Structure 1
Amino acid sequence: MAQQSESSTQGRTAKISVATLTAMVVGSMVGAGVFSLPSRFAGQTGVLGALISWTIAGTGMLMLAFVFQRLAIRKPDLDSGVYAYAKAGFGEYLGFFSAFGYWASACVGNVTYWILIMSTLGALLPVLGEGDTFVAFLASSACVWLFYLLVRRGVKEATTINRIVTVAKLVPIVMFVLIAVFLLDPQVLADNFEGYGVTGPLFDQVRGTMLATVFVFLGVEGASVYSRHARRREDVGRATVLGFLMVLAIFASVTIVSYGILPMEELADLRQPSMAGVLEAAVGGWGAVFVSVGLIVSVLGAYLAWTLMSSEVLFVAAKDRDMPRFLATSDANDVPRAALLLTTALIQVVLFVTLLSDDAFTFALDLTSALSLIPFLLAAGYALKLALGRGGPAAGNRTTGDLVIAALAVLYTAFLLFAAGLTFVLLSFVIYAPATILFAMTRREQGRRVFSGRELVIFVVSVIGAVIGVVALATGAISI
């Protein structure tokens, strides 16, 4: 009976084309982040630092994109890529951490979308402030649950909507770049070139932009997460690389052209979404309206994509018996309802927490990036193990290219952890450690011992990190 039910579930799984997978990748990455880039970068660095930052981030994320592309081909039996790769490479407990961390980062990232939408509307309705007032919280909460009802209608319908929205939201962003290029002032661009004396040494400038670049590139693994829905395994890799290259060109262009419109100091002081302020300075009030409308369309599409992906991670982890079994249920529309409900609930909780933050948008953005780093590092580490011949049998022959790509991806994600700084590493522990309750529930359901010796060591380290993080928050050593 159980096998028949599982077969029935697989039979009704919606199959997605490479074009739709690419749209999922682009739709996941092009969201709130791109509209915040001008002031985020100007507050840290000038044109030179921005070029270096995008070179580092572009190269590092391209290596990660190649990692997901090659793992999709070499390990076709592993679905929900980020989580599955961590489990295969480093065991069940770290695989659980990867699944939970990736899911939590997606939920926190979704909170930034509502903050930015309310901040955008706040230019017309002061009661919404910069998306961090109680009224904004209530409005955001209502929207969160409306989207919950939409996604419950079905994965296939929701991904089709996302594909349409992805095309629609790229139009205002491309128009922004074209207008800014046409109106760019070469002297302003030259004055903003170095950024020295405003933001410190060049290395610190570049480091300061790293979490912002991580945030905007989150979603590069989107096709891998949806691998179980792909018509062909090779479509996963194609969609990943194609979507990444499209988005890199967009992000770098938006950042650089903004330096030619306003001085760095003015760019850094713009309220979010800063892209609206840049275009307003260039063409007048209609520019801010144009970008604001584009932002709302873009962010709603990204929210939809990330809600789908985060629910999918919980569902697949539960199907693999690495999350409690109640999360492994799906309905006739292929919607993992329990996972979707838990995802929506965490988004609601984080929305409330941002009310306590001094800068809700920046806090949520940086925490999203920090939470995603462990899953990315573990996936890259698994690719490196395979390239070194230590990850068990793999499809295809190992090459020098596999080793170089995996090694660069590991170095890049390790550098990102350094760039994140102690604050967000400790906050990540505060979130990761309590999540072990779900891991313990899963092991108890299976009648297994909760921890092996190695897993117990990892648990103790995570608890120590969480305790240090809580004490640091309580004493004011770190703040949100």
Structure 2
Amino acid sequence: MASQSTQKFSRLALTGMVVGSMVGAGIFNLPGRFGAATGPFGAIIAWAIAGTGMYMLARVFQALAEKRPDIDAGVFAYAKAGFGNYMGFLSAFGYWLGSCLGNVFYWVLIGSTLGRFFPGIFGDGSSAIAIIVSLVGVWAFHFMILKGVEQAAFINTVVTVAKIVPILVFILLLIFFFNYTQFSENFFGGADMPAKSLVAQVRDTMLITVFVFIGIEGASVYSRFAEKRSDVGAATILGFVGVTGLMVAVTMLPYAVMPQSAIAAVQQPSMAAVLEAVVGHWGAVFISIGVLVSVLGAYLAWSLICAEVLFAAAKSDDMPRLFAAQNANRVPANALWLTNIVVSLFIISTYWSRDAFNFMLDMTSVTSLLPYLLVAGYGVLLARSGVGYETTPNERGRDQIFAWIAIIYTIFMFIAAGLKYVLLVAVLLVPGTILYVWARREQKLQLFTSTELIIFAVTLIAGVIGAYGLLTGMITP
């Protein structure tokens, strides 16, 4: 059995986990999603909102890692500490579910990338062949990860370096071909784009910005593996700053080489289509290879995170004990099996989706918002209480402001997402509560407090409305 000492991650490795988690599928789709929504002016506003909100969230994660080093596994554990057992469970289950949906999106993107070269076989990534290839990939990764977390983390570090290269080449080439006249024509929205208010333009970019920032908590999830607790917060901020710079450049530069309407019409992954328009077919091939490497690497990171969340929740008695089991390589095997079974079922379901690509992206974003909201809420409660601030009381006010801004940001994201996605998330949370009941029965503990019963009732009502909407066709995936 691997010793605990061999499982420790350095600051560089933790930063790699953040970058590897964030730079996945989303960054390669930014030009098309932004081009369909807004021009450079709206994009600047959108990134200012998203960057500020996510930076505040990153600072909350940093503060919590420093002030509550006793809380491992980050995301859901903070929700439990601040808001009780059921909210902690919903956070853990929602975060895990969002990670599963994100993994499904990765495979849809792989299929749509291959569909650029083999359209009759892979289509938009949800054809029968694409689904079969995706399922083979899911289980190939599954058995590789079962061989050990360390091996998988090493591969993630290598892949993280490899996938940054095409993004940097894309940025440098578009800087070289920068056309100021084209950029200025697009600035307030292309002339041939449908009329849309600035508020609507910015709102339509919000879910993709949430998606590309998912993974900001990658170091926090792996806090129990850190050599030093202070490395968790530092890795979070370092990863955030570096990746944000890349994402803003990838979004803004295409406006200087193509009309907005042309950017809006490109096939996903849109970064490949933009570079093809600038330098020719080799650009599409080059970026497509980068997409495949990047997505497979991000998929690896998120498979690890998925299993780790279930494992940590089971270790803290928030999930059934079944998922706390580890194999001889210290991999949470049962958690990994459930994760990949659920991912496989979601992949199969994409066959019936009208737009599997954007639907999975948006669902992933919305399921991540509840855990983020609860983390920010706990940041406020901790700063108000003063726990962990005994030696640094002057930081309480600052950290409370950061956490309040993060709360406002996540609530704004829920509003921007719209009622449809909130109801669909509730549809998934309701059956998930079975796992909570199972865990509470194992420990012979009270199921719900009176407050938690109200929360469950609200979730149940929303889930029933969402299920009715799906059955009647009022809500379409």
Larger deviation: 296-305 or 262-271?
Answer: 262-271
Deviation at 1:199, TM superposition (A): 5.1
SS in 2 for 1:388: helix
Aligned to 1:352: 348
**Aligned pairs (5 A) from 1:230-241:** 230-241=226-237
2:364 to 350, 368, 389: 368
Aligned to 1:3: none
Q: Structure 2 CA distance, aligned partners of 1:67 and 1:392?
A: 15
Q: Write the letter of the residue equivalent to 2:13.
A: T
TM-score normalised to structure 1 length: 0.96
1:477 to 466, 474, 477: 474
**Aligned pairs (5 A) from 1:277-356:** 277-356=273-352
User: Does 2:38 correspond to 1:42?
Assistant: no
1:198 to 184, 194, 201: 194
Q: Write the letter of the residue equivalent to 2:111.
A: M
Q: Structure 2 CA distance, aligned partners of 1:400 and 1:392?
A: 13
1:150 to 144, 152, 161: 144
User: Does 2:103 correspond to 1:73?
Assistant: no
Q: Structure 1 CA distance, aligned partners of 2:47 and 2:6?
A: 38
Q: Structure 1 CA distance, aligned partners of 2:375 and 2:352?
A: 33
Q: Structure 2 CA distance, aligned partners of 1:466 and 1:135?
A: 32
User: Does 2:383 correspond to 1:387?
Assistant: yes
Deviation at 1:261, TM superposition (A): 1.6
Q: 1:199 to 1:142 in 2, by over 3 A?
A: farther
Q: Write the letter of the residue equivalent to 1:46.
A: G
Is the Cα contact below 8 Å between 2:67 and 2:387 reproduced in 1?
no
Is the Cα contact below 8 Å between 2:206 and 2:413 reproduced in 1?
yes
Q: Write the letter of the residue equivalent to 2:100.
A: C
Is the Cα contact below 8 Å between 2:325 and 2:334 reproduced in 1?
yes
1:434 to 431, 435, 442: 431
Is the Cα contact below 8 Å between 1:367 and 1:424 reproduced in 2?
yes
Aligned to 1:178: 172
TM-score normalised to structure 2 length: 0.97
Q: Write the letter of the residue equivalent to 1:412.
A: Y
Q: Structure 2 CA distance, aligned partners of 1:100 and 1:439?
A: 9
Q: Structure 1 CA distance, aligned partners of 2:435 and 2:210?
A: 27
Larger deviation: 379-388 or 395-404?
Answer: 395-404
CA deviation vs aligned residue, 1:23-42 (integer Å, no higher than 9, x gap): 00000000110011111001
Q: Structure 1 CA distance, aligned partners of 2:124 and 2:214?
A: 23
Deviation at 1:475, TM superposition (A): 2.1
Is the Cα contact below 8 Å between 1:12 and 1:334 reproduced in 2?
no
Is the Cα contact below 8 Å between 1:318 and 1:327 reproduced in 2?
yes
Is the Cα contact below 8 Å between 1:373 and 1:417 reproduced in 2?
yes
Is the Cα contact below 8 Å between 1:75 and 1:394 reproduced in 2?
no
Deviation at 1:474, TM superposition (A): 1.9
Q: Structure 1 CA distance, aligned partners of 2:6 and 2:97?
A: 25
**Aligned pairs (5 A) from 1:438-457:** 438-457=435-454
Q: 1:176 to 1:223 in 2, by over 3 A?
A: same
Q: Structure 1 CA distance, aligned partners of 2:445 and 2:401?
A: 39
Q: Structure 2 CA distance, aligned partners of 1:291 and 1:454?
A: 50
Aligned to 1:415: 412
Q: Write the letter of the residue equivalent to 2:334.
A: A
Is the Cα contact below 8 Å between 2:11 and 2:235 reproduced in 1?
yes
Deviation at 1:393, TM superposition (A): 5.9
What's the RMSD between the two structures over aligned residues?
Answer: 1.4
Aligned to 2:422: 425
Deviation at 1:12, TM superposition (A): 5.9
Q: Structure 2 CA distance, aligned partners of 1:308 and 1:394?
A: 32
Is the Cα contact below 8 Å between 2:67 and 2:388 reproduced in 1?
no
Is the Cα contact below 8 Å between 1:14 and 1:334 reproduced in 2?
no
CA deviation vs aligned residue, 1:379-428 (integer Å, no higher than 9, x gap): 00000111222x85656425221111111111111111111100100001
**How many percent of aligned residue pairs carry the same amino acid?**
52
CA deviation vs aligned residue, 1:405-459 (integer Å, no higher than 9, x gap): 1111111111111111001000010011110000000011111232222211111
Q: Structure 2 CA distance, aligned partners of 1:26 and 1:107?
A: 19
Q: Write the letter of the residue equivalent to 1:423.
A: K
Q: Structure 1 CA distance, aligned partners of 2:28 and 2:320?
A: 38
Q: Structure 2 CA distance, aligned partners of 1:253 and 1:163?
A: 23
- Aligned positions, number: 472
Is the Cα contact below 8 Å between 2:306 and 2:339 reproduced in 1?
yes
Q: Write the letter of the residue equivalent to 1:150.
A: M
SS in 1 for 2:37: coil
Q: 1:13 to 1:338 in 2, by over 3 A?
A: farther
Structure 1 ranges of 4+ moved more than 3 A: 8-13, 391-396
**Aligned pairs (5 A) from 1:56-71:** 56-71=49-64
Is the Cα contact below 8 Å between 1:28 and 1:219 reproduced in 2?
yes
Deviation at 1:317, TM superposition (A): 0.4
